[in-house]
Chain A
Amino acid sequence: MILLLTCMLPFLGALAVALAARTGRNTQAILAGAATSAALVLILLQAPQVLAGTTSAFAMPWVPALGLEASLFMDPLGLMFAGLILGIGILIITYARFYLAAEDSMPRFLTFLMLFQGAMLGIVLSDNVLLLLIFWELTSLSSFLLIGFWSHKAEGRQGARMALAVTGGGGLALIAGLLILGRVAGSYNLTDILLAGLVIQGSPLYTPALVLILVGCFAKSAQFPFHFWLPRAMAAPTPVSAYLHSATMVKAGVFLLARLWPVLSGTELWFYLVATTGMVTMFVGAAIALFKDDLKALLAYSTVSHLGLLTMLLGFGTPMAAVVAVFHILNHATFKAALFMNAGIVDHEVGTRDVRRLGGLVHLMPIATTIAVVAGLSMAGLPPFNGFISKEMMLEEAGRTVWAELTWLIPLVATLAALLSAAYSFRYVSHVFFGPRRHDYPRAPHDPGAGLWGPPAVLAALVVLIGFFPATIAGPLVQPVAAAVIGAEPPYFALKMWHGFTPALFMSVLAVAGGAAVLWRHGEAVRMWQRVPVPDAKRAFDAVVAALVGASRVVTDTLHTGTLQRSLFVLFAATFLLAVEGLSVGGLGGATRAGIPASGVAVAAWLALVAGAVAVVVSARQRFLALIYISVIGLIVSLGFVYLSAPDLALTQISVEVVTILLLLLALNLLPKTPQPTSSRLRRARDAVLAGIVGAGVGWLALAVMTRAPRDPISAFHWAQAKPGGGGTNVVNVTLVDFRGFDTFGEIIVLGIAALAIYALLKTAVRGVAGRRLLAWVPETPESPERHPMMLVVASRLVLPIALVVGLFLFLRGHNLPGGGFIAGLVFSIALLVQFMASGYAWADARKRLERHTLIAGGVLVAAATGLGSLAFGAPFLTSTFEYITWPLVGQFELASALLFDVGVSLAVVGAVLLALGQLANLMQRAARLEVDAEPMDIDPTRGAGAVR
């Protein structure tokens, strides 16, 4: 539980700082510092037991289905890292408080920093590797924010993105690696995985898991060839660099290598991958560092080099090398954090970090110089500082390791790297602080306040103390931590300055002397260096990203041209191919149903239907003509329904046909009569072929389905139950209002929505571009001077009552004979449509009593209320009932609740049709700039035949 609290404290601190955004900088820094200190205290309180061998643990289930547990544990390795993260964290917070300029947002900075700290702490305390992954990616995300903190600087933004891409991308490989590892080990808990070394190394999945995990670790720990992001991340404010690149972010990869060392190391693959990568990185980093003039860049490459050193040590796979690695992690954290903060002080006080513009600061900044000397010489590996001891031990181990039978390779590279390391360290110390005093510093340099020098001074003191009393101060920590890394009792080792005249001492002396010599001839070395072709990692990275973006744009733009033709082509083609695939598998029987002999009339109608369809295609660009042919098709389909004894369908079809054709005529009037072809001839030929194939396919499917005997279809029940269960003899209508009344309920809503959508669309279409085009509309065909032909008006008025009676008749008999609410609604609509068309919109509109919206709403509500009525009787929605009552004169009459439902259907149909009509007419009126015609049967003499306005 204490562990959970420890892990949560930085996040709570981040929250506190964010909430205290309006308070002063001191408050915010104290809040952050307090959270960190509290966490550190909690860690230290547990330290004695942990170092004595009792790991402290906390576990809580989170996602059992995944094996993800919120389980934490702290063994000595976790303890050391947690201590470094929090200890250096306190120093960094103090330092940052005084470092950041007034225009930098302190709460933002500290919030990000605390988030990062929490994520780091999570990595080192996670027991569950999936939980570790979560924290791992969180460090990538929060470091992205920290590196890009100075977002006004282009290099800050680029550096942040690069760091995120490399470390976050590496994290994705790590996800795969750890998932495999967990599956092989049978658990995602580290404590279990660490016991499953034999199983893991014996598994065929060991190689992929190892490679993927290493990619993640190497990317995070800036190993060659992923090292390039680290120097770019130096665009961050110095406290960030000091934190991320000494003890935290980049050490995460090393941490994980150490954590998984017992189960992954010891194989040839491990040795060659890890040790080689480490060795190359150590050398390359040191070489580049020597030639960097920016202090932070120098330190950045030095960090790369030291991370390589650590990786190499872990890669050796020997327990003693692991001990050295543990010790060096500690030492590197102390001197590197001190040096970063020191470089920040120089930058802050002098105004430049360029070595070539610095020098002679010893007199002006004695405190900073002292820190630099102590930490710098430790980095160079000089006694009596801690860096010397771990470097000696490293050289000792390197001297014992053989790479592919080349006994000399590793010792040589290690010595060379140590030499270069000494050289750049000397350069850092001598070229900045010693030498002649200059007169062209950008600012007048002087030592900063204690807030800035205090934190690095603490670390410098540690450098000296560990150097003098390694066994006393570091020993009690290194011993158990090394045991935790190795997974067993470590070999005997002695942390001491003097090891006697060993080969390592000889290599060390060589390195220091060589380093001094190289620095002495630095100028020549620089000229040599400039002749070495070093690939620019940033440019390469940018080129790769640019190529990725470019390629993705080409792919995306090529695929998505946005044409309707392509969408439809793909849809038809894919559906056709899938249907063919379906038919090719499994048995396909022939016709099992006797056909009806075709009469001469039927054949003639069929031929007319085919001709009509062909005519529609041929005349597609003459819209009015096409519409006529479409209506021919509709008519023949209705006749077909009559022929096949489906009078309801025929009635529905024909009335729908009339309404749609009328509305389409209105709409087409405003469109160009002959649209331009939009596709090339070749395209159209291609489309025609596909259309022919798909059409034939659908025809064949229909034939195949219709020629087989139905297998006990549910419609048999509908036939049987229509009268006894539904109270009607018209099975179509009973199906519509009863068996499948819910479908009908949905469909009237569809109709209503369609009308609303048309209304909403056209209501606003009169504005903007569309509105201007509308006003510029010119009729393409001559108009009759009679706006409302008298014959039509008179006829339509006569028809109206008759049509209404017909509609009512169809409505009432619907339950038992062909008819019903839907058809009746359409008939009413047609009767009213004709009035609008004949007598003009305004005349007809003025005579309507009900809002069309209300009709739709009323229809839906009546239908819903009818359905809900059954709830009162404890029956489900839409349960119908019917009763036979005897009316005087009429005789026995059936009263069905479904009739009321049908009223709703009719209302919705009428409302929807009239709403669409109203809006189209309105648009027409605007386009034709007609004054509202209150009088029917008017004649406008200006509209002569042929006089096109």
Chain B
Amino acid sequence: MHLIVAPVLVPAVLAALMLLRPARLTRLGQRLSILAMLAQLAIAVALIVLSADGEVRVYELGSWPAPYGIVLVLDRLAALMLLLASVLGLAVLAHAVLTRHDQQGWHFHPLFQFQMLGLNGAFLTGDLFNLFVFFEVLLIASYGLLLHGQGAARLQAGVQYVVVNLVGSTIFLVAIGVLYGTTGTLNFADMALRVSTAPPEEQALIRAGAQILIAVFALKAALLPLHLWLPRAYASTSAPVAALFAILTKVGVYSIIRVTTLVFGEEAGAAAWAPAGWLLPAALLSVLVGFVGLLAARELRLGAAFGVIGSTGTLMVAASVFTPETTAAALFYLPHSTLAAALLFLVADLVLRRRGERQDRLEPGPSMPGAGLLAVLFLLSAIALAGLPPLSGFVGKLLILASVADNPAAWWIWGTILVTTFLAILALARAGSVLFWTRDDAPPHRERVRAAVHAPRLAAPALMLVAALGALTVFAGPATAYTRAAADQLHSRTAYITAVLPDSGVRR
């Protein structure tokens, strides 16, 4: 039973242990970090297996029952998110260690593990204020990682990232204040019950609180027009960190799905499905602007950053319809979108390491050593990001298209997704053609790239992500069955609520 709290404790304790020896980087720290990631992966797998029986499991921290204490809640969605985070984390960590990116600044590994702690905690918690705390952990750790390795552009984009997100946190607090003031509780399940029985004179405030809260989550999900902070921040940080950040927008998506289905769903009175009205247009615009940005990008990493916006938008399109079918489609596309974006960032990192001064700018360069493997990886990441077969994105897109077919806005959704897929194909074909096909051996190519960066083993983490995407494709049947079950669990919320609040009695 204590396994549920392990995803939070393992990174916390191991990160703290790494800090006991405050050297810049120790072999021990590296090993502890990898150990922590492996442990988290194992725990996540165990939790997936545990959650597969459909039971919602509750962990009462401090033995205080909900709603008075904080509870962690493990359902299928939470387990899925934990698994995704640990798979992504492991690949990114391996990439950072292999490329020696972790040596380029201070405290990479503790910050990395704290970041994982924030992610895991956000996915598990069943309490609104505790979610805020984990958002803070996420934000501060990500800020540290964002700046890791320095650079003026990184610093400038980083300032914007942290200021905008701190303002977001403040707004989060306002939303919590409004919702606590009107419902008198912070526990999700309890809040769900209290919102559905709220007297009419409270309903306007509750709806306002819901809208403000979801706006904060939309900011995290980089939904238009709240996406402005993302492109520069992701493009100017180091690629492995950006790869890890591919999941940060999904924390926003996760929170939107969780809170809306549980608290502001069908029975929420005036607040019922309050965000749905504006989320769908915002998501459609995100898809469009994201993939337009991908086409416009002059650097691969900036393109990937816009790809994150577009692909998260695609996911949000399905997530903002709020039917079991669409939620299931969204939950299938969610891991794909995360891993695909991360893969593109890792590939971008491998590319720019081989191109000297040209970095990842989309302009012809001299032939790259080991370009064959890299070209294959780029092709696969492009296929994944554009959502083409044979990788899971195609299945995901088909699921999304099929699931929204009965929606009144179906034509808009179909049109947007298919047209933007075309834009993505165009953009990625151009990028690949310039990077891998066009040669320009003329100077300036003075910089000699160190031999170590050519080693094919550096591509292993990227290949691991490819394998994960491949597995998601081959096992799309079981995976969609799982996400469908997860979506059903979300949409029939009684199981969650009765698990968290078995009765209204008081303990001790």
Where the two chains meet, the residues of A that have a C-beta atom closer than 8 Å to any C-beta of B are 61-68, 108, 130, 133-135, 137-138, 141, 144-145, 148, 151-152, 157, 160-161, 164-165, 168-169, 172-173, 175-176, 179, 183, 545, 548-549, 552-553, 555-557, 559-560, 562, 564, 566-568, 570-572, 574-575, 578-590, 698, 701-702, 704-706, 708, 710-715, 717-718, 721, 724-725, 738-743, 745-747, 749-750, 752-754, 756-757, 759-761, 763-765, 767-770, 851-854, 856-858, 860-861, 864, 868, 870-871, 875-880
Contacts and interface: CB of A to CB of B under 8 A. Distances in A.
A702 B17 contact: no
26 contacts: A135-B389, A151-B433, A151-B438, A152-B437, A164-B429, A552-B293, A562-B157, A567-B164, A570-B228, A572-B167, A578-B211, A578-B278, A581-B211, A585-B204, A587-B201, A589-B200, A705-B181, A708-B181, A725-B508, A742-B62, A750-B137, A760-B144, A764-B105, A868-B9, A876-B61, A879-B63
B389 A165 contact: no
Contacts of A588: 201, 203-205
Interface stretch (B83-91, B254-262, B463-471, B473-481): B473-481
B395 A68 contact: yes
Contacts, number: 386
A583 B148 contact: no
Given A698-B174, A708-B182, A759-B106, A582 B210 contact: yes
Contacts of A568: 163-164, 167
A756 B107 contact: yes
Given A165-B429, A176-B414, A749-B12, 5 more contacts: A68-B398, A133-B398, A570-B228, A712-B184, A741-B62
Closest 4 pairs between A and B when the two form their complex, measured CB to CB: A589-B201, A586-B270, A582-B208, A705-B181
Interface in B151-168: 152, 155, 157, 159-160, 163-164, 167-168
A746 to B, nearest CB: 4
A572 B61 CA distance: 35
A582 B70 contact: no
Interface of chain A, main secondary structure: helix
A564 B160 contact: yes
B346 to A, nearest CB: 21
Nearest to A60: B477
B477 A761 contact: no
B433 A562 contact: no
Nearest to B69: A739
Contacts of A880: 62
Contacts of A151: 433, 436-438
Interface of B: 1-2, 5, 9, 12-13, 15-20, 22, 59-64, 67-70, 105-107, 110-111, 114, 117, 121, 129-130, 133-134, 136-137, 140-141, 143-144, 147-150, 152, 155, 157, 159-160, 163-164, 167-168, 171, 174, 177-178, 180-187, 190, 194, 198-212, 214-216, 219, 225-226, 228-229, 231-232, 269-271, 274, 278, 289, 292-293, 295-297, 306, 328, 372, 379, 383, 388-390, 394-395, 398-399, 401-402, 405, 414, 418-419, 421-423, 425-426, 429-430, 433, 436-439, 476-477, 480-481, 484, 506-508
Given A583-B208, A717-B506, A861 B17 contact: yes
Contacts of A169: 422, 425
A556 B296 contact: yes
Contacts of A763: 105-106
B134 A66 contact: no
B388 A753 contact: no
A216 to B, nearest CB: 11
Contact of B208 (A160, A559, A567, A701): A701
Contact of A757 (B70, B140, B481): B140
A566 B136 CA distance: 23
B149 to A, nearest CB: 8
A175 B398 CA distance: 8
B402 A66 contact: yes
A130 B194 contact: no
B208 to A, nearest CB: 3
A840 B47 CA distance: 52
Contact of B117 (A144, A562, A724, A749): A749
Contacts of B398: 66, 68, 130, 133, 175, 179
B144 A564 contact: no
Contacts of B16: 856-858, 860-861, 864
A587 B177 CA distance: 19
A486 B354 CA distance: 57
A560 B293 contact: yes
B505 to A, nearest CB: 11
Most buried by B among A564, A704, A710, A753: A753
Contacts of B67: 714
Nearest to A743: B133
Given A742-B130, A854-B20, A717 B168 contact: no
A585 B106 contact: no
Contacts of A165: 422, 425-426, 429
Contact of A575 (B212, B293, B379): B212
Contact of B477 (A61, A152, A562, A584): A61
A549 B426 CA distance: 9
Contact of A549 (B182, B200, B296, B422): B296
